[in-house]
Structure 1
Amino acid sequence: MKKRILPLLVGLSVCGIAFAQNMPSAAPSVASATQTLPTITTWTSTPPSGALSEDAIKTSIANAGYKEVKNLEFKEGVWRTEARGGNKRWVKLAVGPVSGKVYPADAPSKLNQDEVNAKLATVGYVNIKHVKFDNGLWGADARNTRGDHVALLVDPTDGSVVARSHD
């Protein structure tokens, strides 16, 4: 019996050391708790590190079925542009800077306001206010886990946070 426990204890010790080396030194953020860290950006006037290039963003837009991209600019944490769709009409688009996911302004949301509130509360946001669907993304004001006021852009299909900014 003791011979079986010793290898188990050694194995658990090695695993514990391996996990400790991969853990971040700071407390986990709301984003890391939801496994959406790569898609969240903090609003600035320039794309975040790790963001796709303009050419890659244009490729994402083309892969989504749009052509003739014009006025592409990084604004409020996402790429904003207009592009011509398959029906030859111009459509306003928002594009996630890291994921390259395209959000057409005229597409309906799969989530309603209550579902967006619930998704944000689940990942730790509190005092969620001003939840509104506009230009393809949900917008909301809230407080993060540290109590800071933040503005959020939320994916209309899964409720994940696409971008956030300090108010």
Structure 2
Amino acid sequence: MRKKTLIFTAIFGIIFLAVLLVSAGIFKSAMAQKEEGHEEAAASAKKETGLTEVDQVETFVGKEKYYIVKGTDKHDTVMYVWVPADKKAKILSKKANEGITEQKAAKIIQDEGLVSKQKEVHLAREDNVLLWEVTYLDKEGQYSLSYVDFSSGKILKNITP
């Protein structure tokens, strides 16, 4: 009986270790894909705009894929640069003070009475329209998105499944 328990424990331990290693490999691969293109986007942003320092790079995938680079110029002015993954598309940049803040975008959606629980706010872009993407749970508990115009603060689109 004791020998069977030892064999069972050894087999279970080997299977558990194998699953753990495979899961770690999948996670590492997924995270590498998430950050793929960030260094190139940061370099493009510096080359094409007045950025001297890059603080953050995020990936946004909507109709097309964009990298949003946050950094500062030589005057320490905070800037956002939307770098398209498609090299043929145009890079757009704005000083942070030329648009509404992340907090203001979230408040605009909150004031509409749509939000039960706010999740995240990220910069986004559709064609040449610069946006804030606000994700939240609506009053029915459904995961929802709203797009707020970066410059005007106008809600352009609400998406609820």
Give TM-score scaled by structure 1 length: 0.34
Higher helix share: 2
Which has more radius of gyration?
2
Greater relative contact order (Cα < 8 A, sep 6+): 1
Query: TM-score if structure 2 supplies the norm length?
Result: 0.35
